[in-house]
Structure 1
Amino acid sequence: MSIFVVGDIQACYSGLKKLLLKVGFNPKQHKLWAVGDLIGRGPQALETIEFLMSLGDSFNTVLGNHDLHFLAVSQGIREVKGKDGFAELLQSSKKNLIIQWLREKPLAAVPEEGFFLSHAGLYPLWSEREALKLAQETSQFLKSDKWRRLLEYMYGNEEQRWTDNLSGLERHKFVIDAFTRMRFVDQKAGLNLQLKTTPKDAPPGIFPWFQHPDLRHESQLLFGHWAALEGNNPNERIHALDTGYIWGGKMTAINLKDLKTVSVKARTL
């Protein structure tokens, strides 16, 4: 059984369908994972979610920052903006079902033995085992009746540093930021959430999470979130799958059997 992992979809249902046709995806024979950001900015949020939900056990995803933002908007914690592309979802009779479906999704996962998947990457000071444990802790909180408190708390770009002593909402916020918003860190692995440039344009002392000297991993790492990388993998064991379809680039999927990628280009006017 082939397992495909698709990069950021961002409510581009037409692009997703083209990509799945190109890779020959068959839900009866294959499994599809996504790196998160199923929705956000794109024009076909409801179609995208309804299609992915219809795949049942043949599909799973980790959560991205846009998915979490939708949850916050759906609860009135954040105001909806036109650029979010959430209007159809919020007006849908299936809204509550979609909210519950998203809340059940993990922040990190092992789609196949030897692979680690999250939206933004692997925080350099965590082992894979520790990262999965922390992801599960925060996912459980998102499933609890206190979940709205976390959605209220998770916003903000202040620099954060991990310590094992972090607790409560502060701990959960760091976990969410590390898994869904991280790009750059400093020498002590503090998160820099404001910088969104390419690695070569980063200021001194700030570098991509995957270049931090403390990063250790045995598995192949799969992540999205960072369209500015344009799918240029940091190395042969770290795979950048956000190729910027929403920005006129490509949508990309990787086959975990042979690590080959397939892409489709966005239509340009």
Structure 2
Amino acid sequence: MAVFAIGDVQGCYDVLVRLLERIDFSPESDQIWLAGDLVNRGPNSADVLRFCMRYPASVKVVLGNHDLHLLANAAGVTEKKHRLDTLNSVLTAEDSEAMLNWLRHQPLFYHDADLQFSMVHAGLPPEWSIQDALDRAAEVETVLRGERWREFFKHMYGNKPKRWSEDLAGWDRMRYITNCFTRLRYCHEDGRLALRFKGAPADRPAKQKPWFAMPNRRSENDRIVFGHWSMLGTGQYGNVFSLDSGAVWGDELTAVRIDQQPYQWFTVEAGRQAQDIKQPVRFFQRWL
């Protein structure tokens, strides 16, 4: 079985299809890991979700900030709408309820003990081990899958608290955990989350470091794939693998095969009109 981790798709379903053909993916024998931001900004978010739902054994996902943003809109929390949002293909679909229900039951963090690889959309704070990440993710996942899921989104947005403590409680605790898994790029040198700057490491503010470069990070020896950060660039940084290559902006969609070494990287160009791709492709006809 081949296992491929893939960066942010963001509704670019046809680009995803071309990448799956490029890696010769078979849903009967292979796995793909999608590192969050399945939806939004691209033209075919609903098709991405339907594809994932069709192959639960061979498609593993984690939630990203855009996926949570979709759920927030579904919950009626719409004050954070963006002019580039393209969520209506899900929100107005006949199978909208099924897609949204499936989405809110997906994990924020995924770990394969046999493969010894983990997947997150954004990052981990330096204080957390892999087991800590699994435990913290489970706290938020329980809320998302429960009766209070709509209430969660009334409290999700915001940059505080910035520092982890076991004493964090209530919605502050939920927000901190969510920000780590879905928004984190940098930390201050003292370990506080630094969520405002989104650019490349070469341009970062003084005394901020990429989350994976923090000294004494407890997950330093663990292999982790992540997306979210197109301005970082794809590649391997120690034991972490950055996958977001800006498909939704017309750049590339990237996959890395993680079940064997040396790791193999694959890309397809999204094209300058990535948000307007409508032409059907062979994979669509083959699997849907």
How many Å separate the matches in 1 of 2:160 and 2:137?
21
Give, in whole Å, the separation in 2 of the partners of 1:68 and 1:36.
10
Q: Which amino acid aligns with 1:19?
A: L
- Residues 66-85 of structure 1, C-alpha deviations (whole Å, 9 max, x = no match): 00000000121115545111
CA distance in 2, matches of 1:154, 1:13: 27
Q: Paired residue for 1:226?
A: 229
| Alignment partners' CA distance in 2, 1:135 and 1:30 | 26
1:20 lines up with 2:20 in the alignment: yes
Aligned positions of 1:1-269 closer than 5 A: 1-79=1-79, 80-111=81-112, 112-158=114-160, 160-217=162-219, 218-235=221-238, 237-258=239-260, 259-268=263-272
The alpha-carbon deviation at position 256 of structure 1 amounts to 1.4
Give the letter for the 1:53 counterpart: M
**Distance (whole Å) between structure 2 residues aligned to residue 245 and residue 204 of structure 1:** 30
User: SS of the counterpart of 2:15?
Assistant: helix
- Give the conservation status (yes or no) of the 8 Å contact 2:42–2:248: yes
The one-character-per-residue Cα deviations of 1:152-184 (angstroms, maximum 9, x if unpaired) are 111023461111100111111100000000001
TM-score scaled by structure 1? 0.95
Q: Report the CA distance between 1:214 and its aligned residue.
A: 2.3
The answer on whether the counterparts of 2:224 and 2:241 sit within 8 Å (CA) in structure 1 is yes
- Measured in 2, the distance between the counterparts of 1:108 and 1:43 equals 26
Stretches of structure 1 lacking an aligned partner (at least 5 in a row): none
Mapped to 1, the partners of 2:248 and 2:57 lie a distance apart of 27
Structure 2 regions of 5+ residues with no counterpart?
274-288
Deviates more, 1:48-57 or 1:223-232: 48-57
Give me the whole-angstrom Cα distance separating, in 2, the residues matched to 1:116 and 1:22. 24
Query: Quick one: distance in 1 between partners of 2:115 and 2:228?
Result: 23
Contact 1:8 1:225 in 2 (8 A): yes
Describe the shift of the 1:185–1:159 C-alpha distance in structure 2 as closer, same or farther (beyond 3 A).
farther
What RMSD, in angstroms, separates the aligned Cα atoms of the two structures?
Answer: 1.4
- Report the Cα offset of residue 139 of structure 1: 0.6
* Cα distance in 2, alignment partners of residues 20 and 162 from structure 1: 38
Structure 2 CA distance for aligned equivalents of residues 191 and 179 of structure 1: 12
> How far is the alpha carbon of 1:101 from its aligned partner?
0.2
Superposed displacement of residue 233, structure 1:
2.9
Q: Once the two structures are superposed, what CA deviation does each residue of 1:23-71 show, in whole Å capped at 9, x if it has no partner?
A: 0100001112110000011111112111221223221200000000000
For residues 6 and 234 of structure 2, the distance between their equivalents in structure 1, rounded to whole angstroms, comes to 12
CA distance in structure 1 between the aligned counterparts of 2:216 and 2:169, rounded to whole angstroms:
23
Contact 1:62 1:117 in 2 (8 A): yes
Do the aligned residues in 2 keep the contact of 1:121 with 1:222 (CA within 8 Å)?
no
Residues 209-264 of structure 1 deviation map (CA, whole Å, 9 limit, x = unaligned): 111112132321110000001214323x1100111111122101111122211111
Provide Cα deviations, 1:186-208, integer angstroms capped at 9, x if missing partner: 01211111110111111111111
Bigger Cα displacement from structure 2, 80-89 vs 220-229: 80-89
Contact 1:158 1:193 in 2 (8 A): no
Residue equivalent to 2:286: none
For the Cα contact (< 8 Å) 1:122–1:131, is it kept in 2?
A: yes
TM-score normalised by L of structure 2: 0.89
